[in-house]
Amino acid sequence: MFSCWVEGGFAESPERNGQMKAWDKIKGFFGAQDMTVGNPTKVLIRFALPLLIGNFAQQLYNTVDAVVVGRYAGDNALAAVGASGPILNLIIALLMGVSTGAGILVSQYFGAKNREQLSHTICNVLSITVIVGLLSGVLGLVITNPFLRIMSTPDEIFTDSSSYLSIIMIGFVGCALYNIGAGILRGLGDSVMPLVFLLLACGLNIGLDILFVAVFGMGVPGVAIATVIAQSISALCCVLRILRMKDVFDAKKRYFIPDKDICLRIFKIGMPVGATQAIFSGAQLMVQSLINSFGTSVIATCIAIMRVDGFAMMPNFTFGMSMTTYVGQNIGAGNVERVHSSAKYGLRLALLVSAVLVVLILLFGRQLLMMFTDTESVLDLGARMLKVLAVGYICFAVTQVLGGVMRGAGDTVTPMIISVITTIGVRVPLAYGLAYITRSPELVNGAPESIYYSLLAAWMVGAIITALCFRFGKWREKAKKSELQTVQSKETA
């Protein structure tokens, strides 16, 4: 088709205009997303879908580790990787705090269209991430063996657990940069590129797992090395992507110099989340100690359950993160009413998807566990435990979505308090209590099911308290305060 000459240049043909509009839509899908406009349900689904796929990929990432180790290195190696989990989660707790604080600030400044503060925040976050990642890695190397001893890790898996954790800690900066970078991108409304980088890491991790463990016979250390390499590459991709987003913020050298006020704001908002994760991880350490007392077979069973359980948890975490970004952007833009009306949409979506996955796990739970082991006792125990957890996934959806709304409004303290109540006040005492009262000559340390009955109870209590706090909590006051600040800022401008 020919273009005709008009004032100042050529007029585009309809076909050309259509191509440009299509390309703009594609670019928009892979870029920052403004969640302050548009139909709330469509906006949430568009943002949450890549997150859900990403969480699925992350779970697949972890599951392949377990499948390869369990199948090619045996149940003891599988137990060794699993026994390392609570310690690794404890180290990641501080990182999660920084990531959440950064994501909330980024989403609020992006929603408020405050380019100066957005630039300061993003660049400062990248700087302190390297520092926090290095410090966390050193801390992890120091506490690894003492904590494995405290948890009564069986001697037959101690060496492998220690090797796995040590290698992960050496490459911990890669883990830190990916998680923080992905948090920044999500705060900007871009949930697609973190997914792309995660899929890249997953594919690489799977290939290296098979190469190092199945082909080279490196066992547990091979799994750890594969994870570090994959995470480091995905971290590099995230950082390069952020630095190229010049249409959103300015990556000037002066912005990378740590700013006291910005760092304090990030930690003030994020540390309750980090504390929540630390509390949860601390509780996991205590529960893991109980699990270890049941022996290697039960440890391997719990690891297989955790991998299957992770798939059922995906919608909960996905919609929780989506609501945090959505609420953060809308409060930054002063759209508090939009937050109130959309919370129910996010909850409905999470409950619907969780319910479907629960049904699938109840129907095919045993078959899923067979990916990790063919030991009948492990399969029987695992199938029973998955049935215990089924209702809990629905309850946890409520906790995550409504908690995500509160965090997006800047109220990260209330979810932390709820976590303290449910983990320290309910789960740990109940797990040990049930194990104690179910002791018998056959079950010297009690029934292993006590681990999951206590978790179910904690999830149910958490859902009730979260619903009450959402209805009557102080997050609404924080939202109104942020809205007022936004209006005043616009009037001043």
Which residues lie closer than 8 Å to 417 by C-beta, 6 or more apart?
none
User: What is the reported pLDDT for 432?
Assistant: 93
Q: How far is CA 207 from CA 198, 202, 204, in A?
A: 14, 9, 5
Share of the chain above pLDDT 90, in %: 11
Q: What's the rounded Cα separation, in Å, for the pair 188 and 178? A: 15
DSSP per-residue codes, 304-345:
HHHHHHHHHHHHHHHHHHHHHHHHHHHHHTT-HHHHHHHHHH
pLDDT band with cut points at 50, 70 and 90 for residue 458: very high
Predicted model pTM: 0.65
At residue 480, the pLDDT reads 61
The pLDDT of 196-217, averaged and rounded, is: 87
Q: How confident is the model at residue 431 (pLDDT cuts 50, 70, 90)?
A: very high
Q: Which residues 6+ apart lie within 8 Å of 12 measured at CB?
A: 3, 20
Gap between the Cα atoms of 418 and 402, Å rounded: 12
Check residue 4 and give its pLDDT: 35
Give the mean model confidence (pLDDT) for residues 170-184: 87
Q: What is the pLDDT of residues 149-159, one digit of tens each?
A: 887 788 888 88
pLDDT, tens digit, for every residue of 271-327? Answer: 777 777 777 777 777 888 888 888 888 888 887 888 788 777 877 888 888 888 888
Q: What average pLDDT is seen over the chain?
A: 80
Give 375-425 pLDDT, tens digit per residue: 888 888 888 888 888 888 889 999 999 998 888 887 878 888 898 899 889
Q: How far apart are CA 462 and CA 358, in angstroms?
A: 19
Distance CA 467, CA 230 (A): 39
Residue at token pair 């990403």: 54
Which residue in this structure is represented by tokens 């699938």? 360
H helix runs in 73-191, sequence order: 75-111, 115-150, 155-170, 172-187
* 235-270 confidence digits (pLDDT tens): 999 999 998 888 888 888 888 888 888 888 887 877
Is residue 12 scored above 60 in pLDDT?
no
Asked if the model's pLDDT at residue 366 lies above 60, the reply is yes
User: Which one has a higher pLDDT value, 484 or 73?
Assistant: 73
Domain edges within the chain = 43-281, 293-483
